[in-house]
Chain A
C-alpha cells in the first residue's frame, strides 16, 4: 500500500487474543474481527478516528486518545469542520465513562524531537487501563528490541507513555 499518508487515509485494526484455549472449539476465539460493541480497549492516535469506528465501542470500552488533531482533506479544503476535542469526548461519553486523553504528539515532539514515537507512547498510555492483560512490559520491550529501529528511544517512549498514563488514569 502506497501513498496513504499523503491523503490522511483512515486506518483501523483489530487485535484479539485469548490466553488459554478450550478443548471445545466453540468457546475459542475464531474470528479476526471484533463484534459491534465488543471492544475492550480503543487506542486512537487521532481523535476523530475514534468516532469513525465508534460502532465497536460500548459501556465496557476504555478509550485512550491522542488529542493532537490531523485535519482531513475535506477540512483543509474548507468543505467541512473539524469537531472540537471536547465535542468528540462528549460523544464518546455516550458509550463509556472511561475516556482518557493525552497529547502524545506534543509529548513525543518535546522529548524525542520527532512524532515517530507517538504510537509507542500511546501503547504505554493504554497499559494502565488494565485492558491489555497477561502481557508484561518486558514482553513489549523484547519485541521492540527485536523488531523496531532505535529500540532504546522506543523503550524510553513506552516508559514515558506508561508514566504519563498512570498519572492520568489513576487520578
Chain B
C-alpha cells in the first residue's frame, strides 16, 4: 500500500502491562520525528487488571 505524505497513519499497539507497549509507542513517535514527520500524536490507556 502506498501512502501519500498527506495521509494520516493510524497505529494501535496492544499488550499487557510490562511488555513494553509504551516504550514501543514512544520509539515509533520519536523515530517519526527524526524522519521529518510534521505531526505526531499519541495516546495511552492503562487498565489495572483484566477480566
A interface vs B, CB < 8 Å?
A: 1, 3-5, 7-22, 27-29, 31-34, 38-46, 49-50, 52-53, 56-57, 66, 70, 72-74, 80, 116, 118-120, 122-123, 130-136, 139-140, 142-144, 146-148
B25 to chain A, nearest CB (A): 4
Number of A-B contacts (CB under 8 A): 238
Q: In the complex, which residues of chain B have a beta carbon less than 8 angstroms from the beta carbon of A13? A: 12-14, 21-22, 24-25, 42-45
Are B6 and A20 within 8 A (Cβ)?
yes
Are B40 and A17 within 8 A (Cβ)?
yes
Q: In the complex, which residues of chain A have a beta carbon less than 8 angstroms from the beta carbon of B43? A: 13-14, 32-33
Query: With contacts A11-B46, A142-B34 known, is A72 near B51, CB below 8 A?
Result: yes
B interface vs A, CB < 8 Å?
A: 1, 3, 5-32, 34-51
Q: How far is the CA of A4 from the CA of B44 in the complex (A)?
A: 14
Q: In the complex, which residues of chain A have a beta carbon less than 8 angstroms from the beta carbon of B3? A: 133-134
Are B38 and A15 within 8 A (Cβ)?
no
Q: How far is the CA of A120 from the CA of B25 in the complex (A)?
A: 10
Are B9 and A10 within 8 A (Cβ)?
no
13 pairs from A and B in contact (CB 8 Å cutoff): A1-B46, A12-B21, A16-B10, A31-B41, A32-B41, A40-B10, A43-B12, A44-B14, A72-B16, A74-B51, A120-B24, A134-B37, A139-B31
A31 to chain B, nearest CB (A): 7
Are B50 and A14 within 8 A (Cβ)?
no
Q: In the complex, which residues of chain B have a beta carbon less than 8 angstroms from the beta carbon of A136? A: 35
